[in-house]
Structure formats: C-alpha cells, structure tokens
Structure 1
Amino acid sequence: MVYGKRQSGGVSPPDGGWGWVIVGCCFMVTVCTRAVTRCISIFFVEFQAHFGADYSATAWIHSLVDCTTMICAPVGSLVSNRWSCRVAVMLGGLLSSCGLLLSSFITSMKLLYFSLGVLTGLGFALCYTPAIAMVGCYFRQRKALAYGIALSGSGIGTFVLAPLVQLLIEVYSWRGALLVLSAFVSNLCVCGALLRPITLQEDEEEPTGEARHRERWCFTSCFPSSKEYSFLLLPDFLGLAVSFLFLAAGCSLPFVYLVPYALSTGVTHQSAAFLMSILGVLDIVGNITFGWLTDHRCLKPYRLACYIFSVGMEGLCCLFTPLLRSFPLLVPFAVLYGYFDGAYVALIPVVTSDVVGATYLSSALGVVYFLHGIPYLISPPIGGWLVDITGSYTATFYLSGAALLASALILCTNAGIRRCHHQLTSGAKDTKHTPLPLSLPNQSDCIEETVGQAVGFASEETNWIYQH
C-alpha cells in the first residue's frame, strides 16, 4: 500500500490511501471519548437516586471527566512522542475501559469521582490528542476535510449513543449500562493498533540524532525536551493560545444553558430537547461541509480568516439570544450556533498545524486542549452564579458572546500585527538590496561626458579612414 511519495527515507502526506483508515480511527476515538463523555450526564438521575446526592455533587462527575481529558492532553502528547501514537491510544483505551468497568461496581460517590472522573478522563486524554495529530500527518491538501470527518464523531456519536444509553439503563440498570460502555470503549485499543506510524520529510530535515529519535520512537526520558515545545515561543502560537482560553470560556455555556433558558421562556420540554437535537445535527454538518469548503484552493489561504469568522458568528448568536423568547425564534439560533460550532472545531487542528507544522502538531494540540480544561471546569458554575444573582439568563449569554468575540478579536489583532510586520520587513529588504544613489549627476557633467564620447568616436573614425 502506498503511503506517500518517498524521498530520502521520508514521505510526504499521502492525502488518501491508509490516511482514510486513520480518519476512520480518529472518528471512532472521538465517538468513544467526547460522545461518551456527553452521555455520562444521562446517568445523573440514577446516581442521585442510588447515592442520595444532589445535582451539584453529581454534576462534578461530568466536570471531572471533561476537565481531566483536556488538562491531561499534554500527557497524551508526551506518550505519543516518546513511544508512538499507537501506544498512547491503546494505553488510553485500556485505562478508560478499566475506569468504566470499576465504576459499575462502585458503592461510594467519592470513589466514583476517581474511577469515572479521573481514571476514565485520563484514558480519554491519552487517546484524543494523538489520534487527532495522526490525521495531520497523513493529510496536507485535504486536511480540513479529513479533520471535519474525523471530528464529526462527537456529534454523530452523541446522536446515536444518547438514546442507546438510556435504553441500556432501562434494561440492565446503570451498572449494566456502564459495563456495556466499558466493552464499547475498549474498541479504542483496536483503533490504536491501526494507527500506523509515518516518517515525514520534515522529520528527515532535522539533525540526524533527532530524526533517528523520532523514527524509533524510543523512550529516552520521562520529561519533555525543550525541542518538542520550542513552538511555545512563537508569537503566532502565543496569540492563538490566548484566544483559545477565551474560546473555551464561552463555547460551553450555550450547551449547558440553552435548554433551561428555553424552558424559562415557556417552551415545552419536548421542544427544548429538540433544540439540542437541531444543534447536534448542525454541528455534524458544520464539521464536514466547512472542512470541505476550506480545502478548496480559493479558501485554503484564508483558513484562519474562516476560523475567526465562525467563532465571531457564534459570539454574535449568543449576544442576540436574550431577544429570542419563543421556539420559532430559538430554532435559527440552534441552526447557526450548531453549524459554526462544528466549523471551528474542525478548523482548530488545521489552524494549529498551519502555525507549528506537522512535526510539532501532537505537542501543540496537547497544549491547546490543556488550555481548554480550566475554562471548561469553571465557566458553567460562573454562568450559574450569574443566573442566581440576576434571576435571568441574559448575563450568562452575554458572557458567552463576549468571550467568543474576544477570542476572534485577539486573532484578528494578531494577524494584523503580523501582516504589518511582514510588510515592514519586506520593505526594509527591498531598500537594502536596491540602494539609492548618494547624489544626482550634474547636468554640465552629463553634457561634457556626452561631448567627450562623440569626439572620441570621431577621432577613431578619422584614424580608420587614414589607415585605409
């Protein structure tokens, strides 16, 4: 099977072939991690009834899974860099499956925090980042489309798993449902086994020792080297990192508070749940179509601008939400927010890869998803606190919209500064290579030089005549 064009031992991204198997594996990884994480909230009522806990105590399980998955993302990058993405995903599948298995036998809520919250979340962290990074190694020309398909597993998985998990709870109780989920998540080990390593041409250009180290994936140290995280000093990545902090602070609030807000406006429970279904389906559409569109030649140079546009549109949707007080008005919000949410999610790895390159993509994604962890943990409680003190959801949606618009504005400012710096640098180089004359020639000097040349030419002609 052809993996890419081989040059001096390295290969270029094949943009197909085994790469589509990698996309399928990443799709299943997002189903088994992000979709399963969303479905954990279905167990809340069962946990409350069995352990006698209130909603806030039970909600910490979901927060711990989500936060641990993001904060421990650099651990997944470290394992994949030291061994391979294959080892990281298989190890993560084993840990997360064991975490769900132990959770089915737990008799205490505190132990459930560890088994379902920390252990399962750590396993998801080991799988998520390396699988996404492998897609970037196998694709270059159709990278956005590949990521759109791979990351759509979150929305499709939620759409399919949510009713299935509810059915499992009704038939086998919550313990039996966790056992089935444990077996389902163990498929991560199969996905990891299919992640075949690839050595890119970029790796071949590195010093011999570093290239040999990456080719073997050999274990040399328990700590990351400065070489692996040298991209942290890039101004473009620093601007991207700051914008991700604001993005993570604002993007999760509508998913948490859309249904309660709809109910507060008089929308029925069925209609409020249907809004979430619309949002989820359009999230899938945004993943795939926006990735396909930004792979076209006319839009490929403007992928960062497309990313900024999608984040900005999400922010504007949130700012207008308090004006939407009925189900027909909330449907357009669910459509637009869901579509642009899927759009920017598909472009996060693409934009990150454009900044740091495919060689450092795994480490960079670990940092990017780590930055999502703390905002994911604290923004929903802050949004709830605003609802408590104001008595409405207006301030919460304004906070979400402001954070998303700030994220887009930071990237716009960073891109503008980089463009101005590039123009100034180019102008300085042009001036340096084409120096201006120190002084202009005098007109009389020009006349004398011309006359002298004419006289010399006449003399040469006269001498030629005399000789012949």
Structure 2
Amino acid sequence: MARAPQLLVGRLEELGVRTMAKGRRARSTSPPDGGWGWMIVAGCFLVTICTRAVTRCISIFFVEFQTHFSQDYAQTAWIHSIVDCMTMLCAPLGSIVSNHLSCQVGIMLGGLLASTGFILGSLATSLNHLYLTLGVLTGLGFALCYSPAIAMVGKYFSRRKALAYGVAMSGSGIGTFILAPVVQLLIEQFSWRGALLILGGFVLNLCVCGALMRPITLREDCLDPEQSPACQTRKQGCTQAAPHSEPAEEWLPSCPCCSLQQEYAFLLIPDFVVLAISVLFMAYGCSPLFVYLVPYALSVGVSHQQAAFLMSILGVIDIIGNVTFGWLTDRRCLKNYQCVCYLFAVGLDGLCYLCLPTLQSLPLLVPFACTFGYFDGAYVTLIPVVTAEIVGTISLSSALGVVYFLHAVPYLVSPPVAGWLVDTTGGYTAAFLLCGFSMIFSSVLLGFARLIKKMKKTQLRLLAKAPDPRLRLWTNGSVAYSVARELDQRDGDSVMVAMPVYNPT
C-alpha cells in the first residue's frame, strides 16, 4: 500500500509529459500559405523599403556632403559603399541573432541601431564621422533586419512562396521610386541634417515590422534530428571527432559547438557550395550597371533627362519583374522548374550586358532597360526560393545570411574595377563585357552542376531497376549478404566472391 502514492505520482508525471508532447505537436503546423503570412509579407515589404530603398536614397546626399565637407566624389562615395557592404557582410550575424533570440528581437534591435546611425549622422562634423555612423552603424542595423525578415516569409509560404517573395522584395523598387523625390524635397526644406533626422525616424518603423514577425513552429522543425541533412552532417562530424567515446546520440548534447554545427552544416552540402560560387559571379555582374548606365547613356549622346528616365524605367520594370515572375513560377507548370527559371533570368541579364555596347541611342536603350530590369527583379525574387530548395526552411535564415554575405565583396569591388577598365580602355565595352560574362558563367556553372546531379540520379535509378543478374541476395534476420559469381571463360573455373562468406547451413 505504501507504493500506491508513488505509482500514482509516477502515472501523473507520465500523463503530464504526454500532454506537453501533444501540445508541442499541436502547435507545429505546415506553412499556412496565407492568413498571418500576408502580414509577414507586408512586414518584409516594409523592411526592404527601410533597408534597401533607403540605402539607395543615401546617394541623393552626395552633392550636399561634397559641398559641406569640401571632399571629392571618391571620398564621399565610400559612405554608400560602406552601408551596402556592411548590410551584406554582417547578414550572418543577423541570422545568428534571430536564431538564438528571435526574429522579432533581431529586427527591432536592427531598427534601433539603424535609426541611431541616421540620428548621429545628422550631427556629423566630418566624413569619418559619417563613415562610422551612417556607414557602419546603420549598415549593421540593416544587416540584423534584412535576412531574418526574408527567411520568415519562407516559413509561412510553401505553395505560393515565389509570389510571396515577389511582393516582399518589390519594396526595394517601390521604395526607391517613392522615397527619391521625397528625400530631395526634405533636403531642400530642412537641409541634409534635417533630412537625415527624418529618415532616422522613418527607419524606426523597422521596430513595427519586427513586431509583426510572429514566430511559427513547422512540422519540419519537429522532425527527428536524424532526418535532417544538417543534423546528419553534424552527427558525422561529432562522431569523427570522438570515434571511441559514447554513442553519437549520447555524446552530441555535450558537444560545445553542436548548435553552430547544426545551423551551418549546410555549408558542407555540395549543392550549396556551387550556389555560393555562382552567387559571387552573379553579384559581381549585377552591380555596375546601376552606377554606369547613366554615364554610358550620356557618352552616346543621350540627354540628362533621358538618362534619368532610363533609370526610372529600370526601377519600375524591376518591380514588375519581382511580382509577375514570382507569380508565374508558382504556377503548376513551372513549380518544379523554379531553379531553371532563376538560371534563365541570370543568363538573360548577362546577354543584355553583352549587347549593351552596341546600343547607342535612346530608342535602343529603352528596350534594354526594360529587359534587364525585368529579369533583374525576377532572379532577385528567386534567390530565397532556390536557397530554400537546397537547405530547407530550418536552415533558411542562416543560409540566406551566408548568401547575402557573399554579395558584400563583389558589391564593394565591382564598381571600382569597372571604373578602372573605363579609364584604361577609354570606353565602357570592356567593363560591360566582363559583367556580362560573369553573369553568364554564374548561370552556366549552376546549371551544369544541376545537370550532373540529375544524370547521377538517373543512373542510380536505372541501376536500381535493373540489377546485375549475376548478383543474388540472401537475408539472415536483419543482416544481408551479397554473393557475386563470375565465370572465367579462359580457365573455365568459377570464382566465388563473397563478403562475408555465407553458409546457408
């Protein structure tokens, strides 16, 4: 009788554990493809406005900075380069913060840092002050917001993922189209210091965007770790590190770096390595056009107003490409070919670059701006989709952090390299050809890797369907033995090869 209370307590504890497990399973779900997901898209849309669009609008302050600080264009241009580079360079940091704390905390913290950078920048007394505040601090804040917000869209959408990303990423083009004249008006009315203060208040809306990022637990997050490729890679690494210790399942929790290994195990996936190399070449090619299209148009006799009109066309068509291409690739006929569509868009932008030196009038440059702008928006939309296809939604935030990190160096290097080629050759042909071949190589490299993978899968499938008739298989409980018999035609002898030798008796 004394054991009855103990048995009762044990039974209650068991029931409590089962209830908690059922609760966790109830909270896990599949991507809703709607509902609150559209609020996540709206939040990501605002994040891209407050980060990418505001970054582009910093160039409007160039003349004011040059005049006030009496510096040349090269010195002043470093402000924009530092912001852009820091946003991409620190993208993995944003993924780490959102994974270990939450996406909401990461975006809110990033909004506070970015706003502080603008406010302190309005008090700047030198360009070095602007490098640290408007460049480093604001870029770091943007980095904490950008990749986590994009990753959240991938968690809420599966069937309509490309469309959701198209709407979310269009904030960059729409924001630039709206904010550019507004920022110019603010500078005229309140000077550059007042305009920076107002932009600092506007960027605080990132905190509101962060509040919208309601966390979601997917069924994929609750799978057995052995079913996750990232966890399998982590398990293999830990097993190799301690081959004579306890079993892997018991040893893994005590590994001090297991968390980081799990988050970044996708770096060992061959498909992701190829994607990373491809992104480097793609990022090198896509950046210089936005810097040198207007100077090139002026060099072939296009007026200043018409050259600015080309940039407006490029921005508007970019928005259309974001939304419509995302919608198209979500259709049933293209759903399984989204990576091919990404390769197609990148390759076509490369071909546009190759044709650009032959286009020397406004009627020819307008179709170029439309074509390049559309497919530029198309592949930007599909970058998160292709990344999610390779690494899955669990590691998507960390993977996007790495992908955007890889944009940093090409963004920083490609415009100066293109400028050096223009100065050396006296024309824009060499610079545009190098960018074009870089984007085409990016597309061909990723496509070639996917073709090899598909051929290997087909070969393995054929081997599975048509096994070697000389092989016979016996089973003994849970152990299988394969015995291969080969006939030696020259000696007339039979050779039995067995691993291990099977004795049916």
Say yes or no: TM over 0.5: yes
Q: Tell me which of 346, 355, 358 is aligned to 2:381.
A: 346
Measure the CA separation in 2 of the matches of 1:223 and 1:324.
55
Q: 2:209 maps to what in 1?
A: 191
**Where do 1:325-344 residues align within 5 Å?**
325-344=360-379
Aligned residues: 425
The letter of the residue matching 1:227 is Q
The letter of the residue matching 2:314 is L
1:31 correspondence with 2:31: no
1:359 correspondence with 2:394: yes
Q: 1:372 maps to what in 2?
A: 407
How far did 1:430 drift?
2.3
1:200 correspondence with 2:218: yes
Measure the CA separation in 1 of the matches of 2:86 and 2:203.
17
Measure the CA separation in 2 of the matches of 1:406 and 1:225.
32
Measure the CA separation in 1 of the matches of 2:412 and 2:289.
15
1:229 correspondence with 2:264: yes
Q: 1:248 maps to what in 2?
A: 283
Q: Tell me which of 162, 165, 174 is aligned to 1:147.
A: 165
Q: 1:301 maps to what in 2?
A: 336
Q: 2:439 maps to what in 1?
A: 404
User: Structure 1's 133 and 388: CA in aligned 2 closer, same or farther, altered over 3 A?
Assistant: same
Measure the CA separation in 1 of the matches of 2:259 and 2:78.
31
User: Structure 1's 173 and 197: CA in aligned 2 closer, same or farther, altered over 3 A?
Assistant: same
Q: 2:292 maps to what in 1?
A: 257
Cα contact 1:75–1:126 (8 A) shared by 2: yes
Q: 2:183 maps to what in 1?
A: 165
Q: Tell me which of 25, 29, 37 is aligned to 1:19.
A: 37
How far did 1:222 drift?
10
Q: Tell me which of 427, 430, 449 is aligned to 1:392.
A: 427
Structure 1 gap segments, 5+ residues each: 1-5, 211-219, 440-468
How far did 1:435 drift?
6.3
The letter of the residue matching 2:361 is S
Cα contact 1:78–1:224 (8 A) shared by 2: no
TM-score, normalised to structure 1, is 0.88
Q: 1:413 maps to what in 2?
A: 448
After the TM superposition, which of the residue ranges 138-147 and 230-239 deviates more from structure 2?
Answer: 230-239
1:46 correspondence with 2:64: yes
After the TM superposition, which of the residue ranges 414-423 and 17-26 deviates more from structure 2?
Answer: 414-423
Q: Deviations over 1:426-450 (max 9, x none)?
A: 12322349767889xxxxxxxxxxx
Q: 2:461 maps to what in 1?
A: 426
How far did 1:40 drift?
0.3
After the TM superposition, which of the residue ranges 425-434 and 334-343 deviates more from structure 2?
Answer: 425-434
Structure 2 gap segments, 5+ residues each: 1-23, 229-254, 473-484, 487-505
Q: Deviations over 1:269-295 (max 9, x none)?
A: 000000000000000000000000000
User: Structure 1's 221 and 120: CA in aligned 2 closer, same or farther, altered over 3 A?
Assistant: farther
The letter of the residue matching 2:460 is T
TM-score, normalised to structure 2, is 0.82
Measure the CA separation in 1 of the matches of 2:54 and 2:190.
18
Measure the CA separation in 2 of the matches of 1:296 and 1:403.
30
**Where do 1:123-142 residues align within 5 Å?**
123-142=141-160
Q: 2:348 maps to what in 1?
A: 313
User: Structure 1's 81 and 206: CA in aligned 2 closer, same or farther, altered over 3 A?
Assistant: farther
The letter of the residue matching 1:58 is T
How far did 1:404 drift?
0.5
Measure the CA separation in 2 of the matches of 1:25 and 1:224.
28
Measure the CA separation in 2 of the matches of 1:299 and 1:180.
44
Cα contact 1:67–1:373 (8 A) shared by 2: yes
Cα contact 1:9–1:204 (8 A) shared by 2: no
User: Structure 1's 434 and 8: CA in aligned 2 closer, same or farther, altered over 3 A?
Assistant: farther
Q: Secondary structure at the match of 1:225?
A: helix
The letter of the residue matching 1:172 is F
The letter of the residue matching 2:205 is N
Q: Secondary structure at the match of 1:243?
A: helix
Measure the CA separation in 2 of the matches of 1:172 and 1:136.
40
How far did 1:349 drift?
0.2
The letter of the residue matching 2:464 is K
Instruction: Report % sequence identity.
Output: 65
How far did 1:108 drift?
1.1
Q: 1:286 maps to what in 2?
A: 321
Q: Tell me which of 167, 170, 176 is aligned to 2:194.
A: 176
The letter of the residue matching 1:74 is P
The letter of the residue matching 2:455 is C
User: Structure 1's 101 and 433: CA in aligned 2 closer, same or farther, altered over 3 A?
Assistant: farther
Q: 2:138 maps to what in 1?
A: 120
How far did 1:253 drift?
1.0
The letter of the residue matching 2:184 is Q
1:65 correspondence with 2:83: yes
CA RMSD of aligned residues (A): 1.9
User: Structure 1's 436 and 226: CA in aligned 2 closer, same or farther, altered over 3 A?
Assistant: closer
User: Structure 1's 337 and 224: CA in aligned 2 closer, same or farther, altered over 3 A?
Assistant: farther
Measure the CA separation in 2 of the matches of 1:224 and 1:125.
22
Q: Tell me which of 96, 110, 134 is aligned to 1:78.
A: 96
How far did 1:149 drift?
0.0
Q: Secondary structure at the match of 1:149?
A: helix
Measure the CA separation in 2 of the matches of 1:24 and 1:8.
27
How far did 1:206 drift?
3.5
Structure 1 runs (4+) greater than 4 angstroms displaced: 220-224, 433-439
Measure the CA separation in 1 of the matches of 2:379 and 2:454.
23
Structure with the larger RCO, 1 or 2 (CA within 8 Å, 6+ apart): 1
Measure the CA separation in 2 of the matches of 1:111 and 1:118.
10
Cα contact 1:136–1:353 (8 A) shared by 2: yes
Cα contact 1:312–1:405 (8 A) shared by 2: yes
Measure the CA separation in 1 of the matches of 2:146 and 2:220.
23
